[in-house]
Every structure is written in structure tokens, then in C-alpha cells.
Amino acid sequence: MDDERTGLYLLKQGRKGLMRAIFSRLGLILFLLLLQVAFLVFVILRFGQYTPHLVAVSIVFTVTMVLYLINSKIDPTGKITWLIIIMLFPLPGAFLLLYTQTEIGHRSLKKRLLMLNIDTRGSIPQSKETLHRLSEDNPAAASLTRYICRTGCYPAYDCTQTTYFPSGESKFKALLRELESAKHFIFLEYFIIREGYMWSRILEILARKVKSGVEVRVIYDGTCEFSTLPHDYPKRLKFLGIKCKIFSPLTPFISTHYNYRDHRKILVIDGHTAFTGGVNLADEYINRTERFGHWKDAALMLKGEAVKSFTLMFLQMWSIDDNNPEFGRYLSMPSRPPKKTTGYVIPFGDCPLDDDKVGEHVYMDILNRAQSYVHIMTPYLIMDGEMECAVRFAAERGVDVALILPGIPDKTIPYSLAWTHYASLLTSGVRIYEYTPGFIHTKVFVSDDNTAVVGTINLDYRSLYHHFECAAYMTGTSCIGDIELDFQQTLKKCRQITPENLRNVPWTRKVVGFVMKAVAPLL
């Protein structure tokens, strides 16, 4: 058995890492609740005669915490959640708030990312000619570009070809073809990598490419460590010559870093081709295995100048623990501008450790500027007050706002929370549909036949506040018609939600949504 086959065999033999006993916020919350119960029992047994005084101290403490929250910089919806927690569970609530607000564990990460952002801000200069043409063609998009550039090195490009894939299967076919063309480097950054047919096909190509001198780097999120991959998978990939890093491996209790996951999906080939979108590297995304019915997803392929932004995003994440990162060699690779392109592409990333809610602001900008329609596909709908207001306001001023969500959910609580928004959205004229064959994992906004976003950003707190995300904002590109066509084709397989449906919702779903709404920002 040769080295390559031996390496692939060893990879497949790896046992999945076991979920570590109790970790992160869930473990911490349970621990603090038990601590409060134990504390109360101890106080009652030991100091029962002082109960009135202790109650008074508890009231003063709770009022102080409430006043602190009201005057804090936490977003309004988050404040409500914390107020409920503090009032119901003063002791564990206060410790949990302190735990999250003091940034235990991710201060160094935040500092490092901010430094990387500063150091690379000028690495991809904005073409003044491109920005001038964009300002003339679409002033609204130009103003949004200026905002996106403010948050990082994300220029607008006009020499980029865009191809939209309406399914994981179509992306996978193109991805294999493009991987075979690699001559210099391949960068992969994915939230989920799961052993199976899809990853085996990709891994076989990567192993061959490494032997031919192509540099291959892989980043995957630490949640894979207990759910889809062996804990020592980087060592196994190293056996094949593939460089690999895990973003934020899961560890018990010690860090709020757990809260910030790398939800991005990026593949870059030689600096001239990039993929993004919702499709992870696992068999359910191409319907080789069935989870929650038919899996509907989407992806975007870029060829040309805009690929540089995705190359930079990958290198920034890779360089978190690298004191001497190298960017210039990869960003200076020829981008092979296509002979014919239309429109503009602005790739962007969203970091949860800064004060810019880029993903939410881009979505809200589309909603606020739309004149005819905004069509949305998203797997989750857990919105804060600002986003819900933007969706409703667009519909109330006559814009056709339509959402497609899963008909077969992957998680009970998020599905129940989505239904808590339905009544108010329907009242404002928003059309809501559920994909009857199965699960929608697509993350797409398309508006007025001239604007679209395809990327990794869901309409929920996780994506908008807590995850590292990426996407491509497009205006006037040729693929926008394909995105709207995909929406319309998907709509034919959906059931429309009506007020009658709301009256017939199972009581269990109502109760779960009603209760969990209070802690939605922490989910």
C-alpha cells in the first residue's frame, strides 16, 4: 500500500472525538445555577434568622445590575434577555454576564485580529476608477462599499466573473473541476468537514496536488472535533503533506472564545478562483445522505480580481497564531481577469469581536433601498428588533418581501423561534414560505433584479452577532438573474404560511417559542 493510500486509510479509521464532558456556556450556566441553589440552601440552613436582611441585599443587588444593563452598550434585544436572567437568577446571571463581558479567553484573539486588520488594510487598494464608475452606475451601492471598506480591506471590483450554483451538487461538480486545475496553492476554510464521499473525493485531489508541488492549507471549526472528525485530524492531514489548523478547539469552561465560531466557507485556488456560500464539505450538502429531507443549498464561484479579498480573509484567519504571516506572495498572484464581465462584486467578512455588525447592516441596507422586491432564503429566522423592523417596514412601503425557510427543520428550538416572528411579519404583508421537500440551508438576498448577496450569513443571532462570516455583495452582475430564478423555482416546492396556519400551530411549538424568545440572543 503506497503512502497516499495508507494516509487516506488512516484518516478514515479515525474515531470521532467524544464531546467533552461539559463545556462552554451551557456547562457554565448549569454550573452557576447549581451554585446558586447550593448557596441558597446553605444560607437558609446556616443563616435562616437573617433572611430578611439577605432578601434586602438581593433586591439592592438586582436593582444595581438592572441599572447597569440599561446603561450598557449591549444591543436592546440582548438587554431584555439579560434583564430577565438577572431578575430570575441574580447570582448566576451576574457571574454569567461578568464572564461574557470581561472577554475571558478571547482578548488576545481580539487584539490579534484587530492588528491583522490594521496591518493588511492597504494590502488590496481600491481602484479609484472602479469606485468612480460604481458611484455613477449605482450611488447606493457605492455608499455601502464605503461602509464595508471602513470595516476592513474589502474593495469593490468590476473585473470578476460570477457563477451561481443553485445546489450543493452543482457546486461540488464545479469544485472538483477547479481543484484539478490548481498549480500553486489551494486554501480551504469550512465550518464543517465530515468524512464521507464528498470529502474523500476532495481529499484525493488534494493529496495528489500536494505531491505535484501545490501548497494546500485547510482550516475547519473546532466544533468538528467532537461531531465529525477525529481530534488529531490535523496530524493525519499532515501525513499527506496538507497543512491544517483548527479554529478554536473546544475546551471545558475556560473561555468565551467558544462563543465565536468560524462559520465561513471559503475555497481559493491560485488566487484566481474562489467559492463561498452555504455548502459545507459533508455528504448531506450534496444529498448523498439524507438529513431532514432534501437539502437545498447554494454557492457562488468568483473568477477574477475579487478573489483577492477571499484570499486575504483566509490568510488573516490562518495568521492568528503566526507571528510572521506572509500575504504579499499570495495576493500578488495573477487573477486572470475574465474577458467579459458585468456589474460589481464586493466580498466582505464579518468579525464578532469588533463593533461593526456588517452582515446585518448589509441586509438592512438592501431592505431599506429596495423598490420592487426583496426575496430571501435562510435556514433560520431569529431576528432582533432592528432587523424585524427593517423587514416589516420594507413590506409596509409596498416592497414585495418574501422569505423561504425550511419545511423540515434541523433543530426544534430555532424552528419554534422562527414561528414567533410569523404573525407580525404577515401583518405587515411579508410573504412566508416553507420548503416542503426538506431543509433550506441557502443564505441568499436578491432584490430588484440588480442586487444580491450570497454567502454564509443566516438571519439569526449566531450569524449576525457571534460568528465569523463572509459573503459577496453584487450589483449588476450577470448571475443575479440566476439567483432570482432559483428563488422562483424553489418557491414552486413550498407551502405558503397563512394566518390559518398560525392558528393551528401545535401548542408545544408555541410554548417552546414563547419561553425561548427570552433567551434567543444567547442561543
What is the 3-state secondary structure of 293-348?
A: CEEECCEEEEEECCHHHHHHHHHHHHHHHCCCCCCHHHHCCCCCCCCCCCCEEEEE
Give the residue from 52, 81, 101 where a domain finishes: 101
State whether residue 427 is helix, strand or coil: helix
Residue 460 sits in the same domain as residue 315: no
d(CA 233, CA 11): 7
Closest CA to 483 of 399, 389, 373, 406: 373
Residues in CB range of 128: below 8 A, 6 or more apart: none
At residue 248, does pLDDT exceed 90? no
Pairing of strands 467-475, 344-350: antiparallel
Q: Is 18 a domain residue?
A: no
Domain end, chosen from 319, 347, 375, is at 347
Q: Judging by beta carbons within 10 Å of its beta carbon (0-12, 13-18, 19+), is residue 156 exposed, middle or buried?
A: buried
Condensed to tens digits (0 to 9), the pLDDT of residues 186-234 reads: 999 999 999 999 999 999 999 999 999 999 999 999 887 677 888 889 9
What angle separates helix 139-151 from helix 358-369, to the nearest 10 degrees? 170
The dihedral region occupied by 248, where left means phi > 0, alpha psi between -120 and 50, and beta the remainder, is left
pLDDT band at 48 (very low <50, low <70, confident <90, very high): low
Rounded CA gap, 234 and 213, in Å?
19
Residues 91-125: tens digit of each pLDDT: 777 777 776 666 665 667 778 888 888 888 889 99
pLDDT at 469 exceeding the cut of 60? yes
Residue with cell 495576493: 331
Residue 9 pLDDT grade (very low, low, confident, very high; cuts 50, 70, 90)? very low
Q: Does 243 lie in the same domain as 120?
A: yes
Instruction: Look at residue 438 and tell me whether its pLDDT is greater than 70.
Output: yes
Report helix angle 3-13 to 197-211, nearest 10.
Answer: 150
3-state secondary structure 461-478: HHHHHHEEEEEEEEECCC
Is residue 191 in a domain?
yes
- Residue 144 CB: number of other CB atoms within 10 A? 23
Residue 19 lies in a domain: no
Q: Could you say which of 318, 347, 376 is where a domain stops?
A: 347
176 is in which domain, residue-wise? 5-13+107-347
Q: Read off the pLDDT band of 23 (50, 70, 90).
A: very low
Residue 461 pLDDT more than 60? yes
Average model confidence (pLDDT) across the chain:
86
Q: Are residues 114 and 68 in the same domain?
A: no
Is the model's pLDDT at 10 over the cut of 50?
no
Q: Which of 84-98, 265-279, 404-418, 453-467 has the lowest average pLDDT?
A: 84-98
- What number is the average pLDDT over the span 291-314? 96
Within this chain, do residues 457 and 495 fall inside the same structural domain, yes or no?
yes
Q: pLDDT tens digit string along 474-483? A: 999 999 999 9
Q: What is the DSSP letter of 408?
A: S
pLDDT of residue 55: 67
Widest CA span of the chain, in angstroms? Answer: 85
Instruction: Count the domains in the chain.
Output: 3
- For the stretch 300-318, what's the b/e string if a residue is b when 16 or more beta carbons lie within 10 angstroms of its beta carbon? bbbbbbbbbbbbbbbbbbb
Contact 257, 248 (CB under 8 A): yes
- The pLDDT of 4-33, averaged and rounded, is 49
Do 319 and 325 form a contact (C-beta atoms < 8 A)?
yes
Tell me if residue 374 falls in helix, strand or coil: strand
Instruction: List, as one string, the DSSP characters of 486-508.
Output: HHHHHHTTEEE--HHHHHT--HH
H-state helical runs in 358-516: 358-369, 385-396, 412-427, 461, 480-491, 499-503, 507-516
Would you state the cell numbers that stand for residue 492, as one nine-digit string?
Answer: 414552486
Dihedral angle, C-alpha 475, 477, 480, 481, nearest 10 °: 130
| Mean pLDDT, residues 332-346 taken together | 83
Per-residue confidence (pLDDT) for residue 42, from 0 to 100:
67
**330/198 same-domain check:** yes
- Confidence at residue 421, expressed as pLDDT on a 0 to 100 scale: 95
Same domain, 128 and 229: yes
Q: Are residue 180 and residue 296 in the same domain, yes or no?
A: yes
Q: Please state the separation of Cα 95 from the chain's center in Å.
A: 28
The CATH number given to whatever domain includes residue 218 is 3.30.870.10
Query: Quick one: 401 and 271 in the same domain?
Result: no
Q: Is residue 292 part of a domain?
A: yes
Query: pLDDT digit string (tens) for 355-388?
Result: 889 999 999 999 999 999 999 999 999 998 899 9
Q: Which three cell numbers stand for residue 501?
A: 396556519
CA 156/CA 136 separation, integer angstroms: 14
Residue 287 located in a structural domain: yes
Gap between the Cα atoms of 482 and 446, Å rounded:
10
* 375, 402 Cβ separation under 8 angstroms: yes
CA-based R_g, the chain, Å: 24
| Shared domain check, 73 and 191 | no
Q: Is residue 321 part of a domain?
A: yes
Looking at the structure, do residues 343 and 363 belong to the same domain, yes or no?
Answer: no
Same structural domain, 420 and 493: yes
> Could you tell me if 263 and 152 lie in one domain?
yes
